Amino acid sequence: MSIRVENISKVFERFPALNGVSLEVKEGDLLALLGPSGSGKTTLLRIIAGLEFPGRDGGKVFLDGREVTWESAYARRAGFVFQHYALFNHMTVGENIAFGLRVRPRNTRPPEAQIRRKVSELLTMVQLPGLEDRFPTQLSGGQRQRIALARALAVEPKILLLDEPFGALDAKVRKELRKWLREFHDRTGLTTIFVTHDQDEAFELADHVVILHEGKIQQSGTPKEITSSPANTFVSDFLGFNDS
């Protein structure tokens, strides 16, 4: 599914989080939103997800060419993964993954046997088979983040959105999961956007990178295009090219 946002603006208590942002993500692409804290990355991701909405005259969101600006996250079929997992510690791994399916209205809820089968398939997909009966507190940080991804995938999303997915992990686990996520994306072909402030992460993982600062896009392109030809002084400084 393709994603397009046009002229998105968002103000929080007079603070302009986004100011006229437009971008397009082709179907099957893996795109990184890169920038310092407060640049608008997470706000843009949440607006694409349907967890936030632009200002009343603040632009439009399209999925596969259909405007969804004011539709809910559920209607958009967006899978969302947070930095700190957001797993339910009182539920088993299997219950966490199945949660989005079990809370569906009765007429769209799959049979219990199908839900259990789906959970098993997803655990195999994220390379953690057989952990259905564990609790999140019994898992490592990297395992918990994979379970969070499996839970997002359980509802069969059309797009996958990740907000600093590896930010709470140590450097070794973060590097391992970056490699795993790239391989996972190549297998599934799911249109994916992830937020990061880590340049290495963005340039290693993404097909395309969008650099934001103060609510505006400073540069958009492939990792090679951006690193070989920074668009302005901010991008050069942010990438460390102007360090003395």
Length of the chain: 244
What pLDDT score was predicted for residue 14? Answer: 81
Closest CA to 71 of 53, 55, 57: 53
CA 208 vs CA 127, 151, 154, 218: distances in Å: 26, 26, 26, 14
For the stretch 38-42, contacts whose Cβ atoms lie closer than 8 Å and that sit 24 or more positions apart, written own/partner, are 38/214, 39/212, 39/213, 39/214, 39/215, 40/10, 40/212, 40/214, 40/215, 40/216, 41/195, 41/196, 41/197, 41/212, 42/163, 42/164, 42/195
Question: Phi/psi at 29 (nearest 5 deg)?
Answer: -80, 155
- Residue that the structure tokens 């949440």 belong to: 46
pLDDT at 145 (0 to 100): 87
Instruction: Write down the pLDDT at residue 243.
Output: 58
- The conformation of residue 138, written as its DSSP 8-state character, comes to G
Whole-number pLDDT of residue 85? 63
How far apart (Å, rounded) are the C-alpha atoms in residues 123 and 51? 26
Tens digit of pLDDT per residue, the chain (244 long)?
Answer: 999 999 999 998 888 899 999 999 999 999 999 999 999 999 999 999 999 999 776 899 999 999 999 999 888 989 998 877 678 999 999 999 999 899 888 898 999 999 999 999 999 988 899 999 999 999 998 899 889 989 988 988 889 999 988 876 788 888 888 888 898 899 889 999 999 999 999 999 999 999 999 999 999 999 999 999 999 999 999 998 865 5
- pLDDT at 196 (0 to 100): 93
CA-based nearest residue to 42, from 196, 207, 199: 196
